[in-house]
Amino acid sequence: MDCRYCHATVEDSAYAAIPTTTMCMNCHASIRSDSDKLADLRHSFETGQPVRWVKIHDEPDFVFFNHAAHVNHGVGCVTCHGRIDQMEQVHQHEPLSMAWCLKCHRNPTPNLRPLDRITDMEWSADQASDQPADLLQRLHEQYEIPSSQFMTNCTVCHR
């Protein structure tokens, strides 16, 4: 399943959104409807109590992060979240520290990809092109990435 089926707001909003029980039950009312692994989900559906979300990625409140700004400028989910598709249980893959943000903001070009590959867990510029450096430079121009001076300005992430 595509990430955006469940995290439906990633392209439009700062937040990625966690899906509702009803959305899951659209399928699980009939698919594996008696599975033990879905007992919590059925309980939530019957009682109207949402499944408790264990939030893993959590920046401090003084940090401004925005999913749409990244996802619409060619930074894919896998770059920041790792191989979610292979994780039995989701864990944090990157430090999410200021140094980590800045490392990419100084030079995002190697981390860019086409917009139709944003949720692709396996895409790489090396495999997509004989001239990966040219492809990445074209993407940089297409997305009109601001100067590194702008991208590392304190007020971008602290507002």
Which listed residue (73, 115, 117, 135) binds ligand HEC by CB under 6 A?
73
The nearest distance, CB 13 to ligand HEC, in angstroms, is 8
- Per CB under 6 A, the segment of 42-50, 129-137, 144-152 that binds ligand HEC is 144-152
Angle at 43 between CA 39 and CA 48, to 5 degrees: 150
30 binds ligand HEC (CB under 6 A): no
- Rounded distance, CA 148 to CA 12, Å? 24
User: Rounded to an integer, what distance in angstroms lies between the CA atom of residue 115 and that of residue 118?
Assistant: 5
Rounded-to-integer distance, Cα 45 and Cα 25, Å: 8
83-112 positions binding ligand HEC, by CB under 6 A: 84-85, 90, 96-98, 101-102, 104-105, 108, 111
Give how far the C-alpha of residue 73 lies from the chain's centroid of Cα atoms, to the nearest Å: 13
Site membership for ligand HEC, residue 16 (CB under 6 A): yes
Residues belonging to the chain: 159
Q: How far is the CB of 95 from ligand HEC (least distance, A)?
A: 7
Which residue's CB is nearer to ligand HEC, number 107 or number 130?
Answer: 107
Of 138, 133, 123, 10, which is closest to residue 71 (Cα–Cα)? 10
Query: Tokens for 103?
Result: 């490392």
Residue 12 or 59: which CB sits closer to ligand HEC? 59
Distance in angstroms between the alpha carbons of the first and the last residue of the chain: 35
Residues 49-68 that bind ligand HEC (CB under 6 A): 53-60, 63-67
38 binds ligand HEC (CB under 6 A): yes
Rounded CA separation 104/98 (Å): 10
Of the candidates 87, 86, 76, the one whose C-alpha atom is nearest the C-alpha of residue 128 is 76
By the rule CB under 6 A, 154 interacts with ligand HEC: yes
Q: Applying CB under 6 A, does 143 fall inside the site for ligand HEC? A: yes
Cα 39 to its chain centre, rounded Å, is 27
Binding site for ligand HEC (CB under 6 A): 1, 3, 5-7, 10, 15-16, 18-19, 23-24, 26-28, 31-32, 35, 37-38, 41, 53-60, 63-67, 69-71, 73, 75, 77, 79-81, 84-85, 90, 96-98, 101-102, 104-105, 108, 111, 118-119, 121, 143, 145-146, 152, 154, 156-158
